[in-house]
Amino acid sequence: MTTFDERLIEQTTGALEVFGIYLGDRLGLYEPLRDETGVTPDALAERCGIHPRYAREWLEQQAVAGVVEVHDAAADADARRYRLPKQHAAVLLDREHPAHLAPLARMIAGIGGVLGEVAAAYRSGGGVAYARYGADFRHGQGGINRPAFTTSLVESWIPALGGAADKLARGGRVADLGCGQGWSAIAVANAFPHAHVLGVDVDPASIEDARAQARAAGAAVRFECADAAALASEGPFDLVMLLEVLHDLARPVEVLASVRRALPHDGAVLVADEKVAPAFAAPGDALERLMYGWSIVHCLPAQMAEQPSAAIGTVIREDTLRAIAAQAGFGAVRVLDVDGGFFRLYELRP
């Protein structure tokens, strides 16, 4: 059993190691390390355009932390060859692999950049707008859900909604609200090439990224920078998706009421949101700890930037979601019997 002081030391080590992964990801240091024969510090520095002294220190840290392997630890520091084990390459480099988690490091770095503003918001009662978390957080957020959106969303989540997949295959209309960098909308457009896909987000930089990704992927998606509450005027839609978005809305009832108006009688809403426990309990399990962690430094401050705000935080419990859906005029809410990873998946029907 670790004592609390030991736990804090371990967590500090963990935080520093996450920053090491951030540097590797940001500077492209992991790709050359896929090479089976290994890479020396000088070769890595040359390939990635970084200073050799930094390359050596970073490689030593990564090896000590067990992220990379070293061929001959007893050799001269500059002669050692380092490589990335295959299982770690999936986590750090393979952007659509289910185990890809390197984007977490970018999210953490984005939060680190505005922690002073977060502390000030705690005193003032104000907030820190999503855009303030910057490119690191945005890319982290887009990257972390990309594997699930590219595979599970189109292979199991949408098919679990009665009839929606058939409609999209025939050319139905889909709206992806709070689409961020657009990976979900792009995946739907690729999987259902006859469907008409609209992605909406209030963050201009996310929409710019989404448009660029769609162009690169050759996906026919219309991305609009707008408030999700304006959706009703764009309907009708056979399917509306809110993927890790509902808890982040300052006005969730208003948005869902607009969604409700944009649905025909047989339209469906897919909500993916955090798979948290039914009620508050302390101490919480690993997932509750993770979600409260995001909440205190990112989700709640971002939600508080807009007022008035429902200020849900990250921890949206099932009964909260059901209450919001009912207030917005939805008659039925069903939890889908499908593996959503960190998400619980809800089907809302008029």
Ligand X SMILES: C[S@@+](CC[C@H](N)C(=O)[O-])C[C@H]1O[C@@H](n2cnc3c(N)ncnc32)[C@H](O)[C@@H]1O
Q: Which residues bind ligand X (CB under 6 A)?
A: 130, 141-142, 145, 177-180, 200-203, 206, 227-228, 243-245, 248-249
In angstroms, what is the minimal distance from the CB of 251 to ligand X?
7
Residue 160 to residue 261: CA distance in whole angstroms: 23
Quote the Cα angle for 177-189-173, to 5°.
Answer: 60
The nearer residue to ligand X, 58 or 136, going by C-beta atoms, is 136
List, as one string, the DSSP characters of 199-221.
EEES-HHHHHHHHHHHHHHT--E
The nearer residue to ligand X, 81 or 146, going by C-beta atoms, is 146
Q: Confirm if 228 and 258 have CB atoms less than 8 A apart.
A: yes
Q: Confirm if 251 and 227 have CB atoms less than 8 A apart.
A: no
Query: Tokens 């957020």 belong to which residue?
Result: 141
The nearer residue to ligand X, 68 or 249, going by C-beta atoms, is 249
In angstroms, what is the minimal distance from the CB of 242 to ligand X?
8
Residue of 217, 222, 203 whose CA lies nearest to 306: 203
Quote the Cα angle for 348-145-105, to 5°.
Answer: 140
The nearer residue to ligand X, 45 or 245, going by C-beta atoms, is 245
Strand partners, 241: 176, 270
Residue 312 to residue 124: CA distance in whole angstroms: 18
Query: Tokens 């930037």 belong to which residue?
Result: 305
Residue 314 to residue 54: CA distance in whole angstroms: 37
In angstroms, what is the minimal distance from the CB of 244 to ligand X?
4
In angstroms, what is the minimal distance from the CB of 179 to ligand X?
5
Structure tokens at 52: 């050799």
The nearer residue to ligand X, 89 or 228, going by C-beta atoms, is 228
The nearer residue to ligand X, 242 or 268, going by C-beta atoms, is 242
In angstroms, what is the minimal distance from the CB of 94 to ligand X?
18
The nearer residue to ligand X, 46 or 227, going by C-beta atoms, is 227
Structure tokens at 242: 């809110």
In angstroms, what is the minimal distance from the CB of 318 to ligand X?
18
Residue 90 to residue 102: CA distance in whole angstroms: 9
In angstroms, what is the minimal distance from the CB of 112 to ligand X?
18
